[in-house]
Structure 1
Amino acid sequence: MKNARYLPLLYCLCWGGQALADTPLDLSHPAAPTAHIDITNVKGEVSITAWNRNEVHVSGQLGNGAEPLTIEGSENNLVIKVQAQGHDGWLNWGGDKAMSSSTLDINVPRGASVKVNVVSAPLSIDGIDGGDIAVNSVSGRVRINAQTPMLDVVTVSGNVAFSGHARQAKLQTVSGDILAPSLGQSVDLQTVSGHIQASGGPWDHLGLSTVSGDVQLTGGLAPNGNISIDSMSGDLQLQFPASLSSNLHATTFSGDLRSDFGTPTRPEHGPGSTLDTVAGGGNGKISVETFSGDLRIRKGSD
């Protein structure tokens, strides 16, 4: 019977803890059609969806131990930041240990530019049309479907998947994979061990660098465009249109080099292969260097 007296108290404590852990969010703020929106969440998940309203709306759940969430700033510049109580600094470092996960479901104007900082929070961005997108992530996956003039994503171990179209794109990972089938005129791709699968163009500029990640790249070169690719041990498979117009230089120290454009040559003594050829009118420049990875240069259809 004595235990029965504590049951109501335990019941209230359990429900009180649940309420703290799952504080619902319902916040709104007027926003300009091309507003700049800065979003930070250390732990949990962030989902950003564009809509046809001049308003930012935040729903979801705020984690226990986080400061009350507000949308700060003016209609042109807004800040949404999940911050642990008693913590501050870059990305609220260390705050992930002081609070539980927060889930942010955010609606923004379709033409807005967004800058997102996350640590272990998966991120999705859908429907942006016209605004710039910048993402800094540590371990969360990043998925983006947008039409953007400028895409800049940096992540450590999270995979990056982009669809839509980006006129300029800069994608960098350490061990995360990059999947980007619709890249525009200017592109920079960099990874250490993550795989890269990308296509698009025609490219005025494309720079690609990998250490051990494999690469599959398909696309065309703009007139007088430039492509520069280097790899240490990752295998490279490149496909260009049959109508390619470019000077083409490729070399590998110990990997196997094969090309549908021109015939590689091997030195009389020692390893390695080199390709120097002109495709079409030679109106661009392509340079590919790999140390031990295999290199395939294929001719696709126009």
Structure 2
Amino acid sequence: MKNARYLPLLLCLSWGGQAVAETPIDLSHPAAPTAHIDISNIKGDVTITAWDRNEVHVGGELGNGAVPLTIEGSDNNLSIKVQAQGQNGWFNWGSDKAMSSTKLDVSVPRGASLKVSVVSAPLSVDGIDGGDIEVNSVSGRVRIDARTPMLHVVTVSGNVAFSGQAKQAKLQTVSGDILAPSLGHTVDLQTVSGHIQAGGGPWQQLSLSTVSGDVQLSGGLAAGGTMSLDSMSGDLQLQFPASLSSSVHAATFSGDLRSDFGTPKQPEHGPGSTLDTVAGGGDGKISIETFSGDLRIRKQD
């Protein structure tokens, strides 16, 4: 019985696997139709789905090593936080080594406002209609399909994908990509190396900044609206409707500049190009600057 010596070890591993099995979650709490709900998870998955009930329900599985989960607060303000046992400090940083992954399936009233904090937990939000959404993430991807007056997402390396409608949106990443084709009248987009693909409008105010990430932007400008875009080495591809009414100033230090609105000018000596033109009645103001990134300004078909 050459393999008999391994049997105690296998039994220990089997028993250990049972000991660290996740704990099923089944919690409910009454909630106001427009409740503010604070949710945090260190690692695992967070899925938030809106429903037509004045109640918050949490399902899923609680990771081994986590403090027993509760829903705390009043009907108007609720808190759901996954915390490691015996850990203190800001957001339980480093607690992921002390516990296994937790899966949260959270159902909330359709008009609720959300504040979600995750570290390496992917986040999905579906069906919110009317409440604000605020997300802070480190490495987990963020996917949101909602109608919200205010959307604010900050992530380090996780990608951000937004669909639905957001009247005001502020999306910030370091290396994560941003995909947001339906942004409303006030927009702030920032990335270091992530790719940005965004659209929407008509924009009353739009600000966009990238270091090395490429940008594809498509949309219109509201009457009297302003846009400010800058890039270090990332390429910018911008599409505006033929009916655009705005002054347009664009400048590149060494990047290539091409435009369907006006004719760029190049200096006699040295690289770079500039464009100063007026489209339509010139009601708005657009300012674009790049260092070494190429710039394309196109009319939409």
TM-score for both structures, normalised by structure 1: 0.95
Unaligned segments of structure 1, at least 5 residues: none
Show the counterpart of 1:50.
50
Pairing 1:61–2:61 present: yes
Letter of the structure 2 residue corresponding to residue 27 of structure 1: L
Contact 1:172 1:191 in 2 (8 A): yes
3-state SS of paired residue (1:21): coil
Give the C-alpha shift of residue 122 in structure 1. 0.3
Unaligned segments of structure 2, at least 5 residues: none
Pairing 1:242–2:242 present: yes
Pairing 1:200–2:169 present: no
C-alpha separation in 1, matches of 2:179 and 2:208: 13
Letter of the structure 2 residue corresponding to residue 285 of structure 1: K
Contact 1:91 1:118 in 2 (8 A): no
C-alpha separation in 1, matches of 2:19 and 2:46: 20
- Deviating beyond 4 angstroms after TM superposition, the runs of 4 or more aligned structure 1 residues are 7-13
Contact 1:204 1:222 in 2 (8 A): yes
Contact 1:224 1:285 in 2 (8 A): yes
Q: Give the aligned length.
A: 299
C-alpha separation in 2, matches of 1:182 and 1:99: 38
Show the counterpart of 2:70.
70
Give the C-alpha shift of residue 92 in structure 1. 1.4
Show the counterpart of 2:189.
189
Counterparts of 1:119-268 in structure 2 under 5 Å? 119-268=119-268
Pairing 1:285–2:279 present: no
Contact 1:169 1:184 in 2 (8 A): yes
CA 1:44–1:266 in structure 2 vs 1: closer, same or farther (change >3 Å)?
A: same
Letter of the structure 2 residue corresponding to residue 273 of structure 1: S
C-alpha separation in 1, matches of 2:17 and 2:58: 23
Contact 1:21 1:100 in 2 (8 A): no
RMSD: 1.9
Give the C-alpha shift of residue 94 in structure 1. 1.3
C-alpha separation in 1, matches of 2:31 and 2:92: 25
C-alpha separation in 2, matches of 1:90 and 1:249: 44
Q: Which moved more, 1:89-98 or 1:102-111?
A: 89-98
- 1:72-104 deviations in whole A, cap 9, x for unaligned? 000000000000001123221111110000000
- 1:256-288 deviations in whole A, cap 9, x for unaligned? 000000000001111110000000000000000
3-state SS of paired residue (2:96): helix
Letter of the structure 1 residue corresponding to residue 293 of structure 2: G
- 1:129-166 deviations in whole A, cap 9, x for unaligned? 00000000000000000000000000000000000000
Show the counterpart of 2:270.
270
C-alpha separation in 1, matches of 2:163 and 2:266: 40
3-state SS of paired residue (2:255): coil
C-alpha separation in 1, matches of 2:139 and 2:242: 39
C-alpha separation in 1, matches of 2:18 and 2:134: 34
C-alpha separation in 2, matches of 1:91 and 1:261: 49
Give the C-alpha shift of residue 171 in structure 1. 0.1
3-state SS of paired residue (2:124): strand
- 1:201-247 deviations in whole A, cap 9, x for unaligned? 00000000000000000000000000000000000000000000000
3-state SS of paired residue (2:147): strand
3-state SS of paired residue (1:91): helix
CA 1:286–1:51 in structure 2 vs 1: closer, same or farther (change >3 Å)?
A: same
Pairing 1:94–2:111 present: no
Counterparts of 1:16-55 in structure 2 under 5 Å? 17-18=17-18, 20-55=20-55
Q: Which moved more, 1:83-92 or 1:160-169?
A: 83-92
Give the C-alpha shift of residue 170 in structure 1. 0.2
TM-score for both structures, normalised by structure 2: 0.96
